[in-house]
Structure 1
């Protein structure tokens, strides 16, 4: 008779070796996966940190540019204010340089028997007030004033009779460049 061999322990050992091999392979796989995940996490964190630095540098640059832009806007405002002041001063200077010509023209046009009590120049408008011996003297003054060529649209605002003479008020527009 043949002796029967009991293969149970051998099979048990093979199964135990296979389980240990599987467990070792599982542990190695888990360790490699953990290393891979840790490496990917580290890469993502470093990339995120680099992006945060880039964003911070861009924000600092934007703040610097905003500050510069505000300064440029302030300088533009100052320049516009200075240009407006310069234009006003130039206009006053031009008007002042034209005033002697205006007074000379008024002196030439003013007839005997009339005198001026008010001369007002504002925004290109001329107002003349005064006393005249008669209405004909005022009419001659208006004709002479138009002939001098310093004014246009000359009109008599009012003419009133007083004991000292006829009080008159004339209004006209100065020709361009005379204000």
Structure 2
């Protein structure tokens, strides 16, 4: 005898496959949710780690900026001190030169001539004086040419003096100041 199955096996099979499909969908959703949670946790941890690194770098940068500012202040102070030292050394070195310049001005001054004013502009001296004759002025210029301390005398003006100084001529003369080599150096 043949067996005939009258049960609704197709509906049961369809229901079973549908139940398996729902279980697989729910499993996949749970697995996807778990993976998404793990991924989000990993990303949050990485962001927190990077933010802590950024905060460390910012504090280190602030410390370095403070150190750089301190170094710049120290360099500025050092430069100021070096400038002061140079000025002091220049003044110390030029002190005897000024005395020598005045001494040389007196040595080069011929008889019958005197200075009424003296102005210094850089390395140039502007002299105004009175002379008994023009030959005395030319003698002064020759003295300046022969001097170790002066060079390039330039006579700019010679005029008759006022009545109170009759017989005198007023002159304007400029001369360059030079610094001679100290004695004893360069020769052996």
* TM-score, length of structure 2 as denominator length: 0.78
Aligned equivalent of 1:6:
6
> In 1, are the aligned partners of 2:108 and 2:144 still within 8 Å (CA)?
yes
Deviation at 1:38, TM superposition (A): 0.5
Number of equivalent positions:
177
Match of 1:110 in 2: 109
| Counterpart-to-counterpart distance in 2, 1:158 and 1:3 | 151
Contact 1:153–1:173 (CA under 8 A) maintained in structure 2: yes
Partner of 1:47: 46
Specify whether residues 154 and 2 from structure 1 end up closer, same or farther in structure 2 by C-alpha distance, changes over 3 A only.
closer
Alignment gaps of 5+ in structure 1: none
Residues 121/2 of structure 1: CA separation in 2 closer, same or farther (3 Å cut): closer
Quick one: distance in 2 between partners of 1:130 and 1:3?
Answer: 154
Contact 1:105 1:145 in 2 (8 A): no
| Distance apart, 1:91 and its partner CA | 3.0
Matches of 2:12 and 2:48 in 1, distance apart?
Answer: 53
Structure 1 residues 96 and 118: alpha-carbon distance in aligned structure 2, compared to 1, 3 A threshold? farther
Report what 1:142 is aligned to: 141
Where does residue 173 of structure 1 map in the other structure?
176
Q: RMSD of aligned C-alpha atoms? A: 2.6
- Residues 117, 11 of structure 1: alpha-carbon distance in 2 compared, 3 angstrom cutoff: same
Aligned mates of 2:5, 2:126 — CA distance in 1: 142
| 8 Å contact kept, 1:152–1:174 | yes
Q: CA distance change for structure 1 residues 157 and 81 in 2, over 3 Å: closer, same or farther?
A: farther
Separation in 1 of the partners of 2:3 and 2:31?
Answer: 49
C-alpha separation in 2, matches of 1:24 and 1:117: 120
1:32 aligns with 2:31: yes
Q: Answer yes or no: is the 8 Å Cα contact 2:144–2:151 preserved in 1.
A: no
**How far off its partner does 1:124 sit?**
0.9
Superposition deviation, residue 59 in structure 1: 2.6
Unaligned runs of 5+ in 2: 182-188
1:102-149 superposed Cα distances (whole Å, 9 cap, x missing partner): 111112111222222222223111122222222222221221222122
1:14-25 equivalences in 2 (<5 Å): 14-25=13-24
Whole-Å Cα distance in 2 between the matches of residues 5 and 155 of structure 1? 142
